[in-house]
Amino acid sequence: MDPASPRPSLLERLSALLSREPEDREELLALLHAACERNLLDADALAIIEGALQMSELQVGDVMIPRAQMDIIRLDDPVDSIAAHVVDTGHSRFPVGNSKDDIVGIFLAKDLLRYYAGRDFDMPSLLRPAVFVPESKRLNVLLRDFRVSRNHMAIVVDEYGSVAGLVTIEDVLEQIVGDIEDEFDRLEPSDNIQLDADGRYRVRATTEIGEFNAAFGSDFSDAEVDTVGGLLICQLGRLPRRGEVVMLGKLRVTALRVDGRRVHTLLVQPVAGTAEA
């Protein structure tokens, strides 16, 4: 190669690698992995491409926040109560209704500024329309709908029309780029185990089993796995779904943040007879 000639771009190098058209998705992925091994594609780019390809195989029900974990605001809640709820949960958007089965709109936390700026606070007039989607909707279709409508949240309904959970644009994008943390998700590096306001413990999935045992008075073995996330996967025999609950001994463990490739954060609640952390 002439040293004076310009270096081929990433697109040109990939085009050369893919000069033979792959026959199916598996062959395409094999070619992309080969490109990564030859340093034509970095590992992060490969993970994003794989996530984008996987989206068409996933449905809303695979990534939604389950009904039991939905944080809603009731239509008749006083504004001070709403403000306290927003601070406690740290969300930017909330379903609003008389119950989880009667959602009438979406409230944006930033609209509380109207009240604290001395303006009248009328909840019904501040609500955005609620969008309802079926559990079976494909994620790639939902992402397109989010982009067109500029909505960031949808209420998920099951085949009988009952509310099954909710899904946000963040939940969808995490399937492509991996876990997206914000200031309310982040634990300090030293805080692998942190007590939440509701009495449960937020635990990093990468917490070593020895540290986990010391905190909860458990005696799980680290012979086969090193982390509590690995322990959960070993117990299930697969990656847990977001919101899935598993009993590990006398500990009730909920998979809080799962991005489709790995477990990030767990909620742990000791039940009766278990040592406190």
Sequence ranges of the domains in the chain: 61-175, 193-270
- The helices-and-strands tally (H runs, E runs) of the chain is 11, 12
| Token pair recorded at residue 182 | 């914000």
Determine which of 175-179, 217-221, 248-252, 262-266 has the lowest per-residue pLDDT on average.
175-179
Amino acid 275: pLDDT? 43
Given 1.25.40.390, 3.40.50.10260, 3.30.420.40, 3.30.465.10, which CATH number is that of 193-270? 3.30.465.10
- Cβ-count burial 82-101 (b if 16+ within 10 Å, e if not): bbebbeeeebbbbbbbeebe
CATH 3.10.580.10 fits 61-175, yes or no: yes
User: C-alpha distances in angstroms, 215 versus 148, 210, 239, 276?
Assistant: 47, 9, 24, 8
User: C-alpha distances in angstroms, 60 versus 69, 92, 156?
Assistant: 16, 21, 8
CA 115, distance to chain mean position in Å, is 31
pTM for the whole structure: 0.58
Length of the chain: 277
Equal CATH topology for 61-175 and 193-270: no
The mean pLDDT value for 172-193 works out to: 62
The mean pLDDT value for 23-33 works out to: 72
The mean pLDDT value for 89-97 works out to: 86
Whole-number average pLDDT of the chain: 80
CA distance 63 to 241: 7
